[in-house]
Amino acid sequence: MENLKIGTEGYLEKIVEYKDTAISYGSGLIEVFATPAMIGLMEMTAQLSVQGLLPEGYTTVGTEVNIKHIKASLVGEKVYAKTVLLEIDGKKLVFEVAAFDTKAQIGLGTHTRFIVHKEGFMEKTKSL
């Protein structure tokens, strides 16, 4: 885990599709980028930003999100997420997350992930 550094950044973009909309997710009745889809993009960006820095067999799992969705984005628009690793506390990683479309910022907040050994995590989960 010594490869992890405060300030590690992530970036990921996508084009909003119908499957990403509030109506498709069931979280609303409008064809705009769904809050759960935006959070998923933020989480994926954070996860990918550190995955290559972890030892073989390890990954991170999301445990907490504190997110504000501040602007709607339409189907067909490009959206992107940026993350910055703010804190490393043992296996706990805290990220600043932000999302944007081509016009403005659409979301912001923090996201916590924990480093886990994939096989051990799955074995423990199956035994619960």
pTM tops 0.85: yes
* b/e 99-111 (16+ beta carbons within 10 angstroms → b): bbbeeeebbbbbb
Q: How far apart are CA 128 and CA 126, in angstroms?
A: 6
**pLDDT 10s digits, 25-35:** 999 999 999 99
Q: Give me the pLDDT at residue 111, please.
A: 98
What value, to the nearest 5°, has the Cα angle with vertex 63 and ends 120 and 111?
130
Q: Give me the pLDDT at residue 106, please.
A: 98
The structural domains of the chain, ordered by start, are: 9-127 (3.10.129.10)
Mind telling me the catalytic residues?
35, 43, 69
Low-confidence ranges of the chain (pLDDT < 70): 1
Q: Give me the pLDDT at residue 128, please.
A: 79
First to last CA, the chain: 27
Q: Give me the pLDDT at residue 30, please.
A: 96
Q: Give me the pLDDT at residue 33, please.
A: 98
